[in-house]
Amino acid sequence: MYEHLLFSTVNAIASIVINRPAVRNALNASTLEELSDAVERVRVDDSIRAAIITGSGDRAFVAGADIGEITGLNRSEGESFARRGQAVFNSIEFLGKPVIAAVNGYALGGGCELAMACTLRIASENAVFGQPEVKLGIIPGYGGTQRLPRLVGKGHALEMLLTGQLISAAEAHRIGLVNRVVASSELLPAADEMAKKIMANAPQAVRFCMEAVHRGLDTTQEQGQLLEAEFFGECCVTDDMVEGTRAFLEKRAPGFKGK
């Protein structure tokens, strides 16, 4: 179905693999379009509870945007180029279902931005992260200047953005860019395990948690708490809340239905 992606679903988990190994899985316009379509498939399919995004091979997650498509852009074209990538990555961040980035090598430029758009990030020991755009005379355009400081803080973000230097998986974990670092052979199993841990919980509660965090970060703490209270109330009228509390009192595993 796709030229540059591999898409499959097993046990309610969608696997989206960026499949351009000859160019280290660089993102060109057609790959972004396919990624957008794959994410929409995950969104509308109620049988899919989570997704894992990774790159083909063991050298690169996504080594950046296709530089050949950037050369020669004028101001208007450059802005449109950035906005299109931002829209695709926003659709991942605000999908309403957990998306785990399994970072299996170079995650540079647009690749780092793609990983940051995911809900959680698990990296192999050989993963390398960076936003080296300043070395090309540009800045990140797919959300990097906004997501990076929110994840790692202003100081760490500015150091990465202004120097363009690459960092190891261990350093990415130290500053909070990734959640876990595992051996390369354990990367996909670890991502699958993480997805299953999330999927064991009430789907609507998971969605409300993510939305409360996303929207709350753009407000004051007081406003965020009002939002949290609103979502808490929404949870209280779900069948899953009844099932979850009843299962706890009855000392059994809950059987959530997402209702």
R_g of the chain computed on alpha carbons: 19
> Under a CB-based contact definition with an 8 Å cutoff, are residues 5 and 16 in contact?
yes
Active-site residue identified among 77, 133, 193, 222: 133
Q: Catalytic site residue 243?
A: no
Q: Catalytic site residue 113?
A: yes
Active-site residue identified among 113, 159, 171, 211: 113
Give the Cα separation of 125 and 184 in Å (integer): 6
> Under a CB-based contact definition with an 8 Å cutoff, are residues 131 and 138 in contact?
no
Give the Cα separation of 174 and 42 in Å (integer): 31
Q: Burial level of 251, CB count in 10 A (0-12/13-18/19+)?
A: exposed
Output the 3-class SS for 141-193. Answer: CCCHHHHHHHHHCHHHHHHHHHHCCCEEHHHHHHHCCCCEEECHHHHHHHHHH
> Under a CB-based contact definition with an 8 Å cutoff, are residues 167 and 127 in contact?
no
Give the Cα separation of 144 and 86 in Å (integer): 9
Q: Which residues form the catalytic set?
A: 113, 133
